């Protein structure tokens, strides 16, 4: 072990010294700028084969009609307007926007509104700035680049030993796990690697990241580490074909395990939308195109196909069960009666899962809540000497726009006045109203999901 490592763990384990460390972490690269920077074309060394190659493949493959692979129409593939064309400058070939927008990154359909997940984050560290044991949201992969400064020590645990690691943490800090079930996701636990290895038999690997090098973490590989001095790093998440089953396991673990946490996006939505995009992009009139023979295209198609068949099975079972119990099931393109068409991130009030394809609710409770809100709005308007009709109209407009789901933060959207439920908890909430007053609004027909899965099978070939 490096001398700095021994020093850090002595501080952590003995608790004898008080050390104060600052860490400029999780800074949105779209706001603060990417460490990769922009390069004036005139000074560019001309070695851009990789970048142009990726760009042309993206143009062929993306199928969103604008040929740039990101659906935003500006042609730079990064979902914003600040790069290539301006001043003739272009992004560095290693810039994470290449990875983020590549069609093999299943995560790209999540959209660019989640910093750190679909947009890079910048990190400024100092001696002993630490990142504690964690896996990525939804067990995603991550890529981390050290731009400059002192090295970072990384500790990592193979995905196959993730459960062993979680058991060990429960043993080492049981009270903390009990008080904070999402302990491992709050990035606050520094369990010494020596203790994990020697007392619990968890394999822990270690490496030193120097400036100019990448560290890639694989799905569900726990990792931790610290800086040896002032440095600047950048990181972003990604999801390859291999990630898909991990992503499913993650959302299941979010609901059931003792290491609870909230989902960040709907797994169902990402798989369905990526599947649709994949099928559209690589379809050719005469059957499977040459392009579809590229290995990653087949492996993405295979993983999405398999997951979509699982999703279809779950939906069929869940919808049938709801019907059997007397709940109405109604196909509704404007999911939830037109209220949340723009927001696919509703959360089950019972289990915190994100039920994109079928959302259950008690219509009676919703109507009562609507009535109360209307009365309150009218009373407020009257007290201010304003028109009651105007207040009612304003409330109606808010609702049409998706309120109360129109919160601008993800946390805001979860603070629901009108609870919704996943299929498993279609009768959840214990409001006392009978099942027939409940409705399940379905967004996509199960057969459509199965058809898409079969269409994706065309890219897989005989297996």
Near Zn ion by CB under 5 A, which window of 13-21, 96-104, 190-198, 429-437?
Answer: 429-437
**Rounded to the nearest 5°, which phi and psi values hold at 224?**
-155, 170
First to last CA, the chain: 46
> In angstroms, what is the minimal distance from the CB of 347 to Zn ion?
9
State how beta strands 141-149 and 214-217 pair. antiparallel
44: left (phi over 0), alpha (psi -120 to 50) or beta: beta
How far apart CA 355 and CA 346 sit, in angstroms, is: 7
- CA-CA distance, 119 to 97, in Å (whole number)? 8
Closest contact distance (angstroms) between CB of 243 and Zn ion is: 23
The smaller minimum CB distance to Zn ion, of residues 77 and 429, is found at: 429
Piece in contact with Zn ion (CB under 5 A), picked from 63-71, 193-201, 370-378, 426-434 = 426-434
Angle at 187 between CA 185 and CA 188, to 5 degrees: 120
Nearest-angstrom CA–CA distance, 76 and 58: 11
Among 422, 427, 446, 460, binds Zn ion (CB under 5 A): 422
Each residue 363-382 as x (binds Zn ion by CB under 5 A) or -, in order, gives: -xx-----------------
Among 326, 431, 447, 454, binds Zn ion (CB under 5 A): 431
Site string for Zn ion, 335-364 (x = CB under 5 A): -------------x-xx----------x-x
The residues that bridge with 217 in the sheet, in sequence order, are 142
Nearer to Zn ion, 386 or 436 (CB): 436
Out of 433, 435, 450, 451, point to the residue binding Zn ion (CB under 5 A): 433
Cβ atoms of 155 and 196 closer than 8 Å: no
Compute the least distance from the CB of residue 308 to Zn ion, in Å: 20
Q: How far apart are CA 424 and CA 183, in angstroms?
A: 26
Nearer to Zn ion, 241 or 362 (CB): 362
**Residue 425 found at the interface with Zn ion (CB under 5 A):** yes
d(CA 86, CA 142): 29
Residue 156, both tokens: 């990592």
Q: Which is nearer to Zn ion, 100 or 359 (CB)?
A: 359
What does the radius of gyration of the chain's CA atoms come to, in whole angstroms?
A: 25
- 238 close to 103: Cβ distance less than 8 angstroms: no
Stretch 85-124: interaction string toward Zn ion, x if CB under 5 A: ----------------------------------------
Q: How far is the CB of 450 from Zn ion (least distance, A)?
A: 23
CB of 366 to Zn ion, least distance (A): 8
- Residue recorded with tokens 């799905």: 219
Which C-beta is closer to Zn ion: that of 220 or that of 361? 361
Q: Work out how close the CB of 251 gets to Zn ion at its nearest, in angstroms, rounded to a whole number.
A: 11
Q: How many residues at the interface with Zn ion, by CB under 5 A?
A: 10
| Closer residue to Zn ion in complex, CB, 298/427 | 427
Of the listed pieces 113-121, 188-196, 376-384, 416-424, which binds Zn ion according to CB under 5 A? 416-424
HSE-up of residue 386 (Cα within 13 Å, Cβ side): 12
CB of 402 to Zn ion, least distance (A): 21
Decide whether 279 or 351 has the Cβ nearer to Zn ion: 351
Tokens of 6: 């021994």
Chain Cα centroid distance, residue 23: 24
Q: What residues make contact with Zn ion under the rule CB under 5 A?
A: 348, 350-351, 362, 364-365, 422, 425, 431, 433
């Amino acid at each position: 072990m490096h001398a700095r490592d021994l020093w850090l763990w002595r501080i952590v384990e003995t608790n004898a010294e008080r050390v104060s460390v600052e860490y400029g972490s999780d800074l949105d690269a779209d706001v603060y700028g990417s460490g990769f920077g922009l390069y004036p074309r005139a000074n560019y060394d001309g070695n851009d084969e990789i970048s142009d190659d990726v760009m042309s493949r993206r143009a062929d493959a993306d199928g969103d009609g604008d040929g740039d692979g990101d659906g935003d129409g500006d042609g730079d593939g990064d979902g914003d307007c600040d790069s290539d064309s301006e001043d003739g400058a272009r992004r560095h070939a290693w810039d994470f926007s290449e990875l983020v927008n590549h069609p093999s990154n299943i995560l790209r359909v999540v959209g660019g509104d989640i910093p750190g997940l679909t947009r890079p984050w910048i990190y400024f560290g100092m001696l002993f700035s630490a990142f504690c044991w964690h896996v990525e949201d939804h067990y995603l992969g991550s890529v981390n680049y050290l731009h400059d400064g002192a090295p970072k020590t990384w500790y990592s645990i193979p995905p196959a030993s993730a459960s062993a690691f979680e058991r060990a943490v429960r043993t080492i800090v049981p009270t903390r796990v009990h008080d904070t079930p999402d302990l491992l996701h709050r990035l606050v636990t520094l369990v010494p690697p020596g203790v994990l290895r020697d007392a619990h038999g968890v394999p822990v690997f270690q490496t030193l990241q120097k400036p100019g090098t990448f560290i890639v973490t694989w799905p569900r590989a726990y990792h931790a580490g610290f800086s040896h001095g002032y440095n600047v790093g950048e990181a972003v998440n990604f999801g390859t074909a291999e990630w898909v089953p991990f992503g499913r396991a993650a959302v299941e673990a979010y609901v059931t395990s003792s290491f609870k946490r909230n989902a960040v996006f709907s797994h169902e939505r990402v798989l369905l939308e990526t599947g649709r995009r994949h099928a559209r992009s690589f379809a050719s009139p005469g059957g499977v195109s040459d392009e579809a023979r590229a290995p990653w295209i087949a492996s993405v198609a295979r993983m999405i196909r398999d997951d979509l068949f699982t999703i279809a099975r779950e939906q069929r079972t869940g919808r049938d069960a709801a019907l059997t119990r007397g709940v109405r099931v109604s196909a509704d393109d404007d999911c939830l009666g037109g209220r949340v068409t723009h927001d696919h991130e509703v959360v089950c009030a019972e289990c915190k899962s994100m039920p994109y394809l079928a959302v259950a609710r008690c219509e009676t409770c919703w109507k009562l809540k609507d009535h109360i809100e209307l009365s309150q709005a009218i009373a407020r308007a009257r007290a201010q000497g304003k028109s009651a009709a105007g207040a009612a109209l304003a409330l109606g407009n808010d609702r049409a726009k998706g309120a109360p789901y129109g919160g601008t933060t993800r946390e805001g959207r979860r603070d629901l006045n009108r609870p919704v439920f996943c299929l498993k908890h279609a009768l959840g909430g214990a409001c006392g109203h009978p099942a027939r007053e409940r409705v399940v609004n379905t967004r996509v027909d199960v057969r459509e999901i199965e058809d898409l899965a079969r269409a994706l099978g065309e890219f897989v070939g005989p297996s």
